[in-house]
Structures are given as C-alpha cells and as structure tokens.
C-alpha cells in the first residue's frame, strides 16, 4: 500500500461537476493498493497518518500531528501510484490491485482511519473520474510505502 500525503489548507473532490468532498485544514491522502496489501498495512499507515508530526507548532516548527490540530482528511483512491515506468513511455499498472481486491481494502482503510482519527473523514469515489482540488500548505508532500516499514 502506498500513500501520498499532502498537507492542505483546503481540499475538495468534484465528480461530474458535483462536489462530493470538501475539507479545510488537514490532509489529502492519495491511496494506491496492490494485491498483497493486508489489514496490517492499513493499520500501520493509518497510525502514521494520524500521528505524523507535520503541522506547525507555536514556533512554526513541524511538531504537531493531525490529532493535535483536530485536522480533517480526504482519502482518494489512486491506482496510478503503482505505475511501472521502467519500459517504454506508457506506464504499466499491472501491480495495482483490481477492484475486487482493492475496494474492500479501500473501505477498510477509510474505516480504520476514521476510527484512528475519532471522526468522519471525506472520500472521493473509488474508480470515478475525479477532479481533486487542493491548496497545498507549505508545500508539504510525503510519500509512504507500507512495504518499506522495516
């Protein structure tokens, strides 16, 4: 499981000209899933997301977590995070999990993150053509792969 975390001042997801998600200060989380991902990957990543100290404290040092600032979250599925670009110019997405595997893992990720954060989170729509809007704060963008945790 791979995520891209973007610290945002605001973010939204639009599908067919309809806003389906919108947050203020917090995180936009782009989520890519592979066949080998498990609940263990989900638990580890969700713990990282809520406790990662990437928000400024009173001295403007990145020392506060999402929990500390009572921040909001949008999670957006993004299979392209697992693009293989080694050969040619057209990426291969063969490593990305197919919907029958990815959808339940995506849903478990969202539920686990909600439980870890202690409040509802916003989401895009799995498999939809989404327009993701954000004001990246910093900018702060962090990539985490659950397979590189050791």
Write out the catalytic residue numbers.
Answer: 78-80
| Whether the Cβ atoms of residue 124 and residue 13 lie closer than 8 Å to each other | yes
> Kind and range of the H or E element at 20?
strand 18-23
Q: Which stretches within the chain are classed as H helix?
A: 39-51, 66-69, 99-117
Neighbours of 56 (CB within 10 A): 16
Task: Give CA–CA dist 131/66, Å, rounded.
Answer: 24
Q: Please identify which residue in the block is written with the tokens 């600032």.
A: 69
Task: Give CA–CA dist 39/113, Å, rounded.
Answer: 12
Task: Give CA–CA dist 109/1, Å, rounded.
Answer: 10
């Amino acid at each position: 499981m791979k995520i891209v975390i973007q610290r945002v001042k605001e973010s939204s997801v639009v599908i067919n000209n309809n806003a389906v998600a919108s947050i203020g200060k917090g995180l936009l989380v782009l989520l890519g899933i592979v066949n080998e991902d498990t609940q263990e990957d989900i638990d580890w990543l969700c713990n990282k997301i809520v406790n990662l100290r990437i928000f400024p404290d009173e001295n403007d040092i990145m020392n506060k977590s999402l929990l500390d600032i009572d921040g909001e979250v949008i999670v957006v599925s993004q299979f392209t995070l697992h693009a293989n670009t080694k050969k040619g110019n057209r990426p291969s997405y063969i490593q990305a999990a197919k919907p029958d595997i990815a959808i339940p893992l995506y849903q478990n990720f969202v539920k686990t993150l909600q439980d870890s954060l202690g409040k509802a989170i916003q989401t895009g729509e799995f498999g939809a053509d989404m327009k993701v809007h954000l004001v990246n704060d910093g900018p702060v963008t962090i990539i985490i792969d659950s397979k590189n945790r050791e």
